[in-house]
């Protein structure tokens, strides 16, 4: 079975089998990234375009490295240097890129739904690398891969997602995927950062962090977007850190073998204490390493002749 999709825009419509296929494929590429010569010829002659309308180092670099290790040609378009600043629309930009025969476009955009709009307008495969507050499917897939790599099974797994859920596309993609795979998802955060109707997605909501962390197998911290400070979501950063920051003490409330995850970049001492980020239970750097393998898997699966 192949992945019979032109685009990867969201995890909401993916089946359990499709997610399993992506994770299994990523497993094969993890072996490649462990080799001395970390390159295979699978995407020779294909062109991957990174179209990033929002600043991003981690995700863009990860996609770039993934594409290069598959022997694809990679072009990076950044917001500042693109003609968008000259007033060109997203679709026009994309059509121009497509005219240069791009096979896959990787899009990061600040508007929810941008990737879907783009996918409808171009023949190239489109991979959503984050659209507004909507979804960030490849991040969630690398999170799933990292959880699975640690020997944890999704069925009945207790996962706490902590922080600004409202403004987190990482949280949304993870909620869709984890609930589908049979995990119990708990969202922890202040009411100002919790969408009102989020329970409809089959999750539990906790406003008290200590209660929510009890017995969980995975603690997924979200980055506090400091740039949102001043929008009255919480009084001070110090208060947020006290109520929702992950400390070594709080980790003890979780299951003894619990792992700590973070999509990065981390705010040390805000949402996560430095000693927790560097502890043995932290898999934050595994997530980064696995990101390349997972994205190689996705690029490989999306690069069929269609």
Partner 1 sequence: MTEPPATPKDRADEKLIMDSGDIARALTRIAHEIVERNKGVQDVALVGIRTGGVHLAHRLVKRIHIIEGAQVPIGELDITLYRDDLALLKNQPVLRKTSVPFDLADKVVVLVDDVLFTGRTIRAAMDGLMDLGRPGEIQLAVLIDRGHRQLPIKATYIGKNLPTSREEKVQVLLEEYGEDDRVVISKP
Residues with active-site annotation? 58-59, 86, 108, 136
Query: Is 137 or 245 the residue whose CB approaches partner 1 more closely?
Result: 137
- Nearest CB to partner 1, comparing residues 178 and 298: 298
CB atoms < 10 A from the CB of 243, how many? 15
Q: Binding partner 1 by CB under 8 A: which of 16, 28, 235, 242?
A: 28
141 binds partner 1 (CB under 8 A): no
Residue 151 touches partner 1, criterion: CB under 8 A: no
For residue 109, report the phi and psi dihedrals to the nearest 5 degrees: -145, 150
Residue 222 gets the label, from left (phi > 0), alpha (psi -120 to 50) or beta, of beta
The yes or no reply on residue 123 touching partner 1 (CB under 8 A) is no
CB 144 within 8 A of CB 16: no
Rounded to 10 deg, the angle between the 114-121 and 90-99 helix axes is 40
Q: How far apart, in Å, are the Cα atoms of 98 and each of 76, 109, 119, 188? A: 14, 18, 11, 42
Q: What are phi and psi of 29, to 5 degrees?
A: -80, -25
Minimum CB separation from partner 1 for residue 32, in Å? 8
**Where are the extended beta strands (E) located within the chain?**
47-52, 73-78, 104-109, 125-131, 158-162, 184-188, 204-206, 218-221, 259-261
Measured from the Cβ of residue 153, the count of other Cβ atoms closer than 10 Å reads 12
Piece of the chain touching partner 1 by CB under 8 A; list 19-27, 130-138, 215-223, 242-250? 19-27
Does position 17 interact with partner 1 (CB under 8 A)? The reply is no
Rounded least distance, CB 37 to partner 1, Å? 5
For residue 43, the minimal CB distance to partner 1 (Å) is: 8
Considering only residues 39, 123, 199, 252, which one is a binding residue for partner 1 as defined by CB under 8 A?
Answer: 39
Question: Binding to partner 1 (CB under 8 A): which residues in 241-300?
Answer: 297, 300
Smallest separation, CB 2 to partner 1 (Å): 3
Verify binding: residue 41, partner 1, rule CB under 8 A.
yes
* Tokens linked to 297: 């898997």
Residue 36 near partner 1 by CB under 8 A: yes
**Site membership for partner 1, residue 155 (CB under 8 A):** no
Contacting positions for partner 1 (CB under 8 A): 1-4, 21, 24-25, 27-29, 31-32, 35-37, 39-42, 44-46, 297, 300-301, 303-306
């Amino acid at each position: 079975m192949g992945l019979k999709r032109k685009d990867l825009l969201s995890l909401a419509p993916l089946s359990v089998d499709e997610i399993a296929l992506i994770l299994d494929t990523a497993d094969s590429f993890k072996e490649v990234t462990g080799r001395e010569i970390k390159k295979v010829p699978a995407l020779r002659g294909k062109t991957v375009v990174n179209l990033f309308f929002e600043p991003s180092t981690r995700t863009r670099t990860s996609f770039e490295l993934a594409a290069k290790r598959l022997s694809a040609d990679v072009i990076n378009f950044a917001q500042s240097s693109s003609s968008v600043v000259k007033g060109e629309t997203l679709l026009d930009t994309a059509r121009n890129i497509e005219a240069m025969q791009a096979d896959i476009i990787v899009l990061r955009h600040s508007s929810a739904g941008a990737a879907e709009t783009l996918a409808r307008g171009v023949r190239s495969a489109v991979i959503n690398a984050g659209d507004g507050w909507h979804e960030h499917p490849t991040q969630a897939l690398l999170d799933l891969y990292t959880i699975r790599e640690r020997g944890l099974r999704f069925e009945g797994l207790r996962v706490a997602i902590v922080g600004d859920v409202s403004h987190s596309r990482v949280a949304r993609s993870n909620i869709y995927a984890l609930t589908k795979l049979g995990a119990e998802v708990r969202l922890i955060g202040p009411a100002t950062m919790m969408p009102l109707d989020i329970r409809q997605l089959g999750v539990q909501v906790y406003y008290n962090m200590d209660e929510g962390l009890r017995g969980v197998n995975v603690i997924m911290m979200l980055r506090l977007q400091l740039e949102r400070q001043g929008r009255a979501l919480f009084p001070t950063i110090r208060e947020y850190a006290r109520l929702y920051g992950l400390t070594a003490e709080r980790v003890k409330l979780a299951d003894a073998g619990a792992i700590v995850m973070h999509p990065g970049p981390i705010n040390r001492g805000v949402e996560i204490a430095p000693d927790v980020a560097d502890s043995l239970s932290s898999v934050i750097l595994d997530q980064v390493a696995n990101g390349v393998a997972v994205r190689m898997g996705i690029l490989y699966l999306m690069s069929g002749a269609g």
